[in-house]
Amino acid sequence: MNETLKSIFSRYSCRAYTAEPVSQEQLKLLSDAALAAPTGMNRQPFRVVVIMDKALIDKMDAECMETLKKQADSSTYNRFMERGGTLFYGAPAMIMLPIEKGANTDVGIIAQNICIAAESLGLGSCHCGMARLIFSDGRQAEYEKLFQFPEGYDFGLAVLIGHPAKKGAAHPLDESKVLYI
Strand order across the 124-128 sheet: 49-51, 93-100, 153-162, 124-128
Q: Return the pLDDT at 101.
A: 86
Mean pLDDT of 75-84: 90
Examine the pLDDT at 61 and tell me if it is beyond 90: yes
Total structural domains within the chain:
1
Within-domain flag for 40: yes
Within-domain flag for 173: no
In the chain, DSSP finds a helix count (H) and a strand count (E) of: 6, 4
User: What digits encode the pLDDT tens for the residues 123-175?
Assistant: 999 999 999 999 987 889 999 999 999 999 999 999 999 999 998 999 999 99
Give residue 122's region: left, alpha or beta (phi > 0; psi -120 to 50): left
Mean pLDDT of 12-21: 96
CB 130 within 8 A of CB 66: no
pLDDT cut 70: percent of the chain above it: 100
User: What digits encode the pLDDT tens for the residues 165-178?
Assistant: 998 999 999 999 99
Is the full-model pTM beyond 0.75?
yes
pLDDT band at 1 (very low <50, low <70, confident <90, very high): confident
> Other CB atoms closer than 10 Å to residue 57's CB: what's the count?
22
Within-domain flag for 35: yes
Q: Return the pLDDT at 98.
A: 96
Report how far residue 53's alpha carbon sits from residue 120's, in angstroms, rounded to the nearest whole number: 23
Looking at every residue in the chain, the average pLDDT score rounds to 94
Residue 65 structural domain:
3-166
Mean pLDDT of 85-92: 95
Mean pLDDT of 70-88: 90
Of the candidates 38, 164, 7, the residue with the CA atom closest to the CA atom of residue 109: 38
Give the chain's largest Cα–Cα span: 52
Any idea what the CATH number is for the domain that residue 142 is in? Answer: 3.40.109.10
Within-domain flag for 132: yes
Report how far residue 29's alpha carbon sits from residue 161's, in angstroms, rounded to the nearest whole number: 12
SS3 164: strand
Of the candidates 118, 163, 91, the residue with the CA atom closest to the CA atom of residue 7: 118
Within-domain flag for 178: no
Mean pLDDT of 84-92: 94
Report how far residue 33's alpha carbon sits from residue 29's, in angstroms, rounded to the nearest whole number: 6
Within-domain flag for 180: no
